[in-house]
Amino acid sequence: MSAGARRKHSLAASMAVALLAAALACAALLAAPQRAAAAPTAAQIDTFLAAQGSPMAGMGATFVADGRQYGVDPAFLVAITGAETSFGKLIYQEGGDYSTFNAWNWFWGPTRPLSDFTSWADGCDHVAAGLAGTLYYGAGHYAVVDIAPVYCPDGTQAWINNVSTFMLQLGGNPADTRWLTPSAPTGPAALDLGSAVTLSQGPYYTGQTLKATFALTNTGGQGATWDAITMHVRAPGEVPHDLGSSKPFTLQPGQSWAFTAPWSLDQKGSWYGWIEVEKAGVWTHVGKSPAFEITVADPPAGTLSVSSVPWRARADEKLVASGVLRPAYHAAGRTIKVAYYVRSHQIWVRMGTVTAKVRHSPQQATYRVALAFTHPGQWRLCAWAPPQGGRAAVLSAWRTVTVR
């Protein structure tokens, strides 16, 4: 999809969200005033998404920041995910290949499964920018009923009903999906964190890289420049892993700025952190402290299985092995290897290694490889990950196959 015009949408009418009462949604839409509604707060979005069981819960600040940046009501950005993927719970997939983090079904790649985003935040930013672009707002399409035929040419009415209902639940107005500029604040510049820091999806294990995203907003009535920002991170034993920037940043009233900070989880135990900014040599907290708390464990053994491979096979038979990685090794695009051995004179001899790319949905990661058993005997299989800054990681128990 080049911003939505070429997409062939078939999910909206078939999802559970399509069971919403269409008459109620239409009545609410007709009753809505013909002006943009006040945007929901980050906390309101977080509460709403948590109630839906969404994997995007905690991303309220991201929705608000992107909505403010591109002039799109955050309620509309959230509502689309509800109509398209049940708030990120039903990601589009073909044959086990998922459109990773694409909660909006924003099909921009050469195929739907290849229309991946690197994170929920990356997807939100792309979709907000696209809605504000030439195909939608640039063409004068501001109401849900005007946007729907372009965004969802198939199942259009169900999409209108569902998106409108979710917008109204968040206090939005389907008749105008743009951001409503609030009345100008008064007083000196003041920074607000908006909501909790958004972290990479857990569970968390040693050896992983964790990414934190948060947005700061100037809620005061004057613009100001801050000299530096630091996210203080504490590992078990109060070991510091601080991240920050000494580059000054300026925010005008109502303006937000999103920050991303990655670091390696090198110890198991409790981690926490908080955010401070510097202005004229004085450091001050922003938001609550701690801003986040997590527990890190060592990766569990045997998290990968070769369940699709039978216990017995025929010589020269070619089989497909597939399995599920959960939860330690789940990064999309990573490589795993499945090695297979044959027993000869009581010694296991490696016959080959098959490489597979990891594919994952928000709930799990999967792999799929082809295996060729060339002659009779006992074969063993094991999956492992190539070294990433250390030794190789064994991801599965051994599986024995008897080849006739």
Please tell me the predicted confidence (pLDDT) of residue 265. Answer: 82
Say if residue 334's pLDDT is above 80.
Answer: no
Long-range CB contacts (within 8 A, 24+) of 259-263: 259/213, 259/214, 259/215, 259/216, 259/229, 259/231, 260/121, 260/211, 260/212, 260/213, 261/211, 261/212, 261/213, 261/231, 262/209, 262/210, 262/211, 262/212, 263/209, 263/210, 263/233
Say if residue 151's pLDDT is above 80.
Answer: yes
> Per the omega criterion (within 30 degrees of 0), is the bond before 327 cis?
yes
Question: Tens digit of pLDDT for each residue in 378-403?
Answer: 777 766 666 554 455 556 666 677 77
Domains of the chain, with CATH numbers?
A: 16-169 (1.10.530), 191-297 (2.60.40.10), 312-403 (2.60.40.10)
Read off the pLDDT of each residue in 353-362 and give the average, rounded to a whole number.
62
Residue among 93, 72, 20, 81 nearest 49 (CA): 81
Question: Tens digit of pLDDT for each residue in 267-280?
Answer: 889 999 999 999 99
Which residues, 6+ apart, have CB-to-CB distance to 209 below 8 Å? 200, 262, 263, 264, 265
Question: Tens digit of pLDDT for each residue in 228-240?
Answer: 999 899 999 999 9
Give the least confident one: 148-157, 255-264, 325-334, 391-400: 325-334
Please tell me the predicted confidence (pLDDT) of residue 351. Answer: 63
Question: Tens digit of pLDDT for each residue in 24-41?
Answer: 233 222 233 334 456 788
Please tell me the predicted confidence (pLDDT) of residue 72. Answer: 94
pLDDT band per the 50, 70, 90 thresholds, residue 181: low
Give the least confident one: 252-261, 306-315, 392-401: 306-315
Please tell me the predicted confidence (pLDDT) of residue 306. Answer: 43
Give the least confident one: 121-130, 145-154, 313-322: 313-322
